[in-house]
A = this chain, B = another copy of it.
Amino acid sequence: MTEIRDVSSYLIGAWCPPDAEARPIHDAATGRQLARAGHGSLDTAGILRHAREVGGPALRQLSFHDRARMIKALAQHLDANKQALYDLSFSTGATLRDHAFDIDGGIGTLFVFASKARREMPDATVYVDGPVEALSRDGSFVGQHICTPLRGAAIHINAFNFPVWGMLEKLAPTWLAGMPAIVKPATATCHVTELAVRIMLDSGHVPDGALQLVCGGIGDMLDHVSGQDVISFTGSAETAARLRSTPAIQREATRFSAEQDSLNATILGPDVPPDAPEFDLFVSEVIREMTVKAGQKCTAIRRILVPADAIDPVITALCARLSRITIGAADDPETDMGPLVSSAQCADVRAKAALIASEAACVFGDPDAPPPVPGGAFFAPLLFFCRDPDAAHLVHETEAFGPVATLMPYRDLDHAVALANRGQGSLVASLITHDPEVARTVTLGAAACHGRIYLADRTTMKAGSGHGAPLPHMIHGGPGRAGGGEELGGIRAVLHYMQRTAVQGSPDMLRAITGRHVPGATPVPAPAHPFTRGFDALHIGETLETEARTVTLDDIETFAHFTGDTFYAHMDDAAAARNPFFPGRVAHGYLLLSFAAGLFVHPEEGPVLANTGLDALRFLKPVSPGDSVSVLLTVMSKTPRNPAYGEVRWHVKIKNQNAEPVAEYELLTMNAFDTPAA
């Protein structure tokens, strides 16, 4: 007889084994008790305090790039140790293919967030949100939104189906924001989460207090939340509604984000005949969504919307494919689909399927058949067909969280959209079409009710990620029935754990706070030409003012003929003067940029390695022959890219002889940390 595994919690810096009031965890395939987890009582106030007082300060002293490096190191460490997670995870009913979503997908999410944070966030502790807002005409009073980490704890309440991904996809943005997390996995699969936590803690990369794990019940923790905490919930709509109404959450206006199971639909475009590649793609997509994780996926396809005249070939194709699905032990490489997570889950799916059966005919499988494999939580796929989806309502409301889906016919695109929206808010809808107009109609009709719309055709077959896979780049969540929350979506996800604050004041004050130069701030004199100074030596606000150069008609002629840009505004005085923008012939914009570079560039070999780009160039006033231009070049911000060099963003202002700005832009260069030896 196998020993029963003790699944511990990690609380206030220590592993705490389960106690006498622990709950049992069963093997999905055999139903035997495998482990136990949980505690009779928890010091929930102490757990929150530890997160707030130890974890928060530790994370907040790291920059966004430091946090990104920590997350990348954790991803690498998990990746190196993932076999242990695979081995343990079979006991939850997850197959190797399922591990790719849960374990590899979770690790991949960490990698993407680490990489996006280093690309899209500064190496600082303040995130600058949006542009500087001019709040006064004279530029003396400006505004800037900043985001800073909330000072509380992030409480992550996760679902059983993705014990690894479900934790990691929330941890990455939480930690990037600078918030500590308290992870409460669903008990049925918390032994896998516990192992992932052990691997992460063993790596030595997690700061004290940044991660706590509560296996079993969460006790009265939600009664102790404040307005600086965040609750991020994944699970059933019923549980979400119950938790959401906790008095402390209402009173403290605590952020509560819910991602709930939903009645996701897929739509076969009316343009797709049975012999088109999109038809096969559609069938494969449905089969995959019904069988990955045995359909226990919040994004799985529950409703299959098909043009009325395509119902027969679709049923035929789906039944043929479903009949070839091999159900068996999760660790058997021949298995297509493992068991559900528990026999309780089987009973629930069976009950929900019975509700669906009251409105739809079963066209594959038999709701009353005995389990396909005896002993554990095995459940064979069921495909229903609902002939009148307008009159029906249970098929749009009842989520059987297993390999169960319902086919429905639609008359036209408006009907398809209306049926998709009958889900009352879903995480995802997909549409298989090769017609951009069909894609436009369905997307604009369904977008308000869906957090994600997945469009597939022959051109995305190779690279498309599939209906069911949330990607770290794109938001995951949906309105109404889907919970109203939003996760992932790149840096958007990080901001859920930060407070956005409008800061108003003088340009000098804003520069001191954001660490970025703000146009209008007092220039900092440059002790030497900034192109002679290493990345680390440059000060924010350091400004070089150049000599002036007169732009002659001859310059314009020369430039036009050299480059081939003989646009009439530069060459034809009368035509230029007819133009609403120009008094007559004017200098080329690129001539001004080029002359500006000629004025500010320091030619000798030095720390400036390359001009890598330019942003937000605006030409503000035309330059006529005889005008002269000079340049103000100011260090705006700096972002290290590797140990050898970093990106410097310069604010460039070209002005004319009357000190009027003629062009402004932001210039990017890559600068070495130290002046290379001669």
Contacts and interface: CB of A to CB of B under 8 A. Distances in A.
A566 interface: yes
A241 B245 contact: no
A220 interface: no
A594 interface: yes
Given A501-B452, A603-B571, A614-B617, A240 B258 contact: no
Contact of A501 (B450, B590, B599, B609): B450
A457 interface: yes
Interface stretch (A145-153, A394-402, A406-414): A145-153
Contacts of A444: 125-126, 148, 513
Interface in A497-518: 498-506, 508-509, 511-513
Contact of A594 (B485, B565, B603): B565
Given A474-B143, A565-B601, A579-B610, A463 B135 contact: yes
B599 A564 contact: yes
How many interface residues does chain A have, given as a range? Answer: 35 or more
B595 A133 contact: no
Interface stretch (A10-18, A280-288, A432-440): A432-440
Q: Binding site of A, secondary structure by majority: helix, strand, loop or mixed?
A: mixed
A383 interface: no
A604 interface: yes
Interface in A437-489: 437, 439-440, 443-444, 447-457, 459-460, 462-465, 471, 473-476, 479-486, 489
Contacts of A133: 473-474, 490
Given A503-B455, A568-B603, A615-B617, A250 B244 contact: yes
B460 A506 contact: yes
Nearest to A571: B603
Contacts of A460: 140-141, 505-506
Contact of A455 (B453, B481, B506): B506
A564 B595 contact: yes
A227 B610 contact: no
Contacts of A471: 135, 143, 504
Interface in A147-165: 148-151
Interface string A225-250: 01110000000010011001101001
A644 interface: yes
A528 to B, nearest CB: 17
Contacts of A612: 618-619
Given A563-B598, A565-B601, A618 B609 contact: no
Contacts of A361: none
A534 interface: no
A253 interface: yes
Interface string A569-600: 10110010011111000001111011101110
B605 A575 contact: yes
A254 interface: yes
A579 B559 CA distance: 29
Given A228-B480, A465-B135, A513-B440, A505 B562 contact: no
A611 interface: yes
A252 interface: yes
A370 interface: no
B594 A512 contact: no
Contacts of A250: 241, 244-245
A448 B149 contact: yes
A501 B447 contact: yes
A312 interface: no
Contacts of A141: 460, 463-465
A670 interface: yes
A374 interface: no
A2 interface: no
Interface string A413-445: 000000000001100000000001101100110
A652 to B, nearest CB: 12
A572 B604 CA distance: 9
B609 A252 contact: no
Nearest to A595: B563
A275 interface: no
Given A244-B250, A475-B500, A504-B474, A670 B581 contact: yes
Contact of A567 (B484, B489, B555, B601): B601
Contacts of A447: 146, 148, 499, 501, 503
A501 B451 contact: yes
A676 interface: yes
A333 interface: no
A506 B593 contact: no
B227 A424 contact: yes
A604 B141 CA distance: 44
Contacts of A578: 605, 676
Contacts of A619: 610-613
Contact of A138 (B241, B463, B580): B463
The 6 closest A-B CB pairs, nearest first, are A227-B480, A564-B598, A455-B505, A253-B484, A136-B463, A436-B512
Given A140-B460, A143-B473, A475-B502, 6 more contacts: A135-B471, A149-B448, A150-B448, A253-B483, A451-B502, A455-B509
8 contacts: A146-B443, A149-B448, A228-B448, A443-B513, A452-B503, A452-B504, A568-B605, A580-B644
